[in-house]
Amino acid sequence: MRAFITGASSGIGRELAFQLAELNYDLILVARRYERLEEIKKQITNRDVIIIQSDLNDPDQLSALFKQLKSYEIDLFINNAGFGKVGDSIEIDTSQEIKMIELNIISLHALTKFAIQHMHKGKIVNISSLAAYLPTPKLASYAATKSYVTNYSMALDYELKKLKVPIKVLSVAPGPIKTEFGKVAGVNQKMKGMDVKKCVKKMIKGIENNKKVIVPGFKMKLLKFILHFIPRRWVLASAYKIQNKK
């Protein structure tokens, strides 16, 4: 069994690499910081680990990655790389936002299309966010990118099922997790986040159980459920309050 993970140099992707290696997966790990991937490869001695430096924002590097991937049979294809920017949209640098949209949506879309056309069977797991379910002032464009990820994954999974293609498309919707996300987003995360090891353990359980949308942690599952019943203006006001504290 082989798993492919983007954004494996840090946070959720890095932890997925270690926990999947424990479950006997060989790995293909992708990120821009090659030295970090080398460190992970050094530590995982019992599995075949291929590391690829690629900036998924660069169409040429993405094409080169596709060429490399054609030589491998992949069972678990995880689109994890992504980032957010917190702040008032009027102030956030537009070029950073466009980069985020390109990474979180366009490269994830291209990778997912590659996977459905080249995998013979298996699972694609797209890392979304709980923010996908709520318009989030001060994290507006990031939350919107994750709505795309969740809705696209669900619809694609349904299409493949109808076509009897043996590939499942699952998505993961974590709440706050302790990773480098906050630093990249430009905030000091004051909110308590879930431990990344715990989060990934729950994610893997969800993947094994073929959960269409995996929400790690009871509190976040409850929040997702409650969101269906709360008026949007209240959701907007409390999301704004939470982001404003960061």
Ligand X SMILES: NC(=O)c1ccc[n+]([C@@H]2O[C@H](COP(=O)([O-])OP(=O)(O)OC[C@H]3O[C@@H](n4cnc5c(N)ncnc54)[C@H](OP(=O)(O)O)[C@@H]3O)[C@@H](O)[C@H]2O)c1
User: Any contact of residue 32 with ligand X (CB under 6 A)?
Assistant: yes
Q: How far is CA 1 from CA 6, 64, 89, 180, 230, in A?
A: 17, 23, 43, 29, 43
Q: Select the residue interacting with ligand X from 174, 200, 202, 203 (CB under 6 A).
A: 174
For ligand X, the nearest residue by Cβ is 11
Q: Which long-range contacts (CB under 8 A, 24 or more apart) does 51-54 make?
A: 52/28, 54/30
Q: Which residues form the catalytic set?
A: 142
Site for ligand X in 1-30 (CB under 6 A): 6-13
| Binding segment (CB under 6 A) for ligand X, from list 67-75, 172-180, 201-209, 213-221 | 172-180
Site for ligand X in 181-200 (CB under 6 A): 181, 184, 193
Q: Select the residue interacting with ligand X from 47, 80, 115, 220 (CB under 6 A).
A: 80
Q: Select the residue interacting with ligand X from 20, 44, 81, 214 (CB under 6 A).
A: 81
Nearer Cβ to ligand X (121/241): 241
Site for ligand X in 119-158 (CB under 6 A): 127, 129
Q: Select the residue interacting with ligand X from 5, 167, 177, 203 (CB under 6 A).
A: 177
User: Rounded to the nearest whole angstrom, what is the least distance from the CB of residue 20 to ligand X in the complex?
Assistant: 15
Helices (H), the chain: 11-22, 34-43, 59-69, 94-101, 108-118, 140-162, 181-185, 196-208, 218-226, 232-245
- Residues 6 or more apart in contact with residue 239 via CB below 8 angstroms: 134, 135, 136, 137, 138, 139
